[in-house]
Amino acid sequence: MGQLIFNNNLNYIGPQSNLTYLNGSLSFVPYTIFDSISLGTFNILYRSKVATGGTHTLSLGLYSLTGSTLTLANSGSLPISVTGIHWESITTWSSTQNISPGTWFWGFLFSTNVSSLADLFGVKTIGAANAFPGGFIGGAMSESTNALPSSFATSNIDSIGLPELMIPVIILNS
């Protein structure tokens, strides 16, 4: 197997939806990597509605899935205090990692000291009325949290509804 220079989950930046994340809500987003890639810079397209003097913090976890358990493999964080649409990046991680090919899951946890919400740009099209009947493909924790769990059972994740399965644009650079 070789090494990727970058990995883009959508392969294009086109007309997309605003994906709104709630304070304290942890969402798990699938991310397929077709070859190995060094965990370098994590990039998202962010639209902040931070009020004057406010700060958003994104706590980001990289999770592997074994059976029905998500396990935290790496983590980083990003304080954001600007408004408007920006590329935002995380470059510092809890450990050095060369990510192996396969399906991974990013855990997105936003927190804020103001009431404003955070938007990412991405795809928001699936609003099924029932839980996904196959293996785990992503979702959101039903209860709010203030920290990334080291492990989490997929049976405790909600996959019903439009926000639960939305996919932000994620570009990873080595």
Torsions phi, psi for 113 (to 5 deg): -100, 5
Question: Is residue 37 within 8 Å of residue 3, measured between CB atoms?
Answer: yes
Shortest distance (Å) from residue 81 CB to other proteins: 29
Characterize the bridge pairing of strands 102-112 and 26-33.
antiparallel
128, 144, 150, 156: which one contacts other proteins (CB under 8 A)? 128
Torsions phi, psi for 130 (to 5 deg): -125, 165
**26 to 65: interface string for other proteins, x by CB under 8 A:** ----x-x-xxx----------------------------x
| Cβ closest to other proteins, residue 10 vs residue 117 | 10
Listed ranges 72-80, 109-117, 120-128, 140-148: which one lies at the site for other proteins (CB under 8 A):
120-128
6, 87, 147, 150: which one contacts other proteins (CB under 8 A)? 6
* Dist. CA 43–CA 46, nearest whole Å: 9
Is residue 68 a contact residue for other proteins (CB under 8 A)? Answer: no
* Dist. CA 93–CA 39, nearest whole Å: 8
| Cβ closest to other proteins, residue 23 vs residue 38 | 38
Shortest distance (Å) from residue 101 CB to other proteins: 4
List the interface residues with other proteins, window 70-99 (CB under 8 A): none
Shortest distance (Å) from residue 158 CB to other proteins: 14
Question: Is residue 75 within 8 Å of residue 94, measured between CB atoms?
Answer: yes
Question: Is residue 89 within 8 Å of residue 42, measured between CB atoms?
Answer: yes
